[in-house]
Amino acid sequence: MEFFFGKKKKIEKKTETPISTSIENLQKTLSLLDKKDTFLSKQIEEQRELAKQFIKKNRNQALLCLRKVKMFESEQNKLFNMKMNVESQLNTLSNLVFSKEIIDVTKETKNVLEKYNKEKDCDPDFVDGLMDDVQEGIDRVNEVSEVLSRPIGPVYDESELLKEFEEEEKKDVVKEEKVLLESMTKKPMIKVEKEVIEEREENNEKDEERDIKALKVLLS
């Protein structure tokens, strides 16, 4: 059969180019276009300078330089449109990568939620019973704490204790007032005695002065 119909051609499977590779290739192309644009700008400036130099000496050469300027400017305009197209493709692929990342994360979230919802712990009745058990445990702990906080031994009436304390305070106040009164009654007596002593000393000094004067009179 192969003699009549020939060998069957193998169909080559085209390998799919990753998005990252396409983005990298577009970036390289954009870089080449930028270099070409820089080169054309430099050529335009050089031809304009040459045209200025030849305008008076060689008119034909000056016109040739100006034609080259127009040619380079035309290429630069085409290059500009090419750059815009490449940048548009690059922007589209970048958005595609961003969208793909969001889609992948969304799928992952969906799978996690589906797996979680299938588990027993996610059953509302189970969670409700779990919360009841927790509340019951808390109530038991509070009851134990209340029992442990109860006083042990004889219980005293707080009103009676306060009454005794107030009576003791009143006694202390009476004692302090008594001591204060006694000190106040002693102070005037001490003052009177002091004044009497000072008066006696003053009288003695006067008597001595009189005696000295009389003695001086007798001696004179």
Least Cα distance to 19 among 99, 105, 106 occurs for: 99
- pLDDT band at 10, cuts 50/70/90? low
At 34-75, the pLDDT tens digits run 999 999 999 999 999 998 888 888 888 889 989 999 999 999
Of 139 and 5, more confident: 139
Q: Tell the residue number behind the tokens 């169909």, with chain if given.
A: 11
At 173-220, the pLDDT tens digits run 777 777 777 766 655 555 545 565 666 677 667 666 766 666 555 555
Q: Which two tokens stand for residue 162?
A: 């306060």
Q: According to the model, what pLDDT value does residue 3 have? A: 45
Residues 6+ apart with CB under 8 A from 72: 40, 43, 44, 47
* pTM score, whole prediction: 0.44
Residues 6+ apart with CB under 8 A from 53: 62
Q: According to the model, what pLDDT value does residue 7 have? A: 54
DSSP state of 12: P
Helical (H) or strand (E) element with 67: helix 59-118
At 17-32, the pLDDT tens digits run 788 888 899 999 999 9
Q: According to the model, what pLDDT value does residue 1 have? A: 45
Taking the C-alpha atoms of residue 188 and residue 107, their distance in angstroms, rounded to an integer, is 104
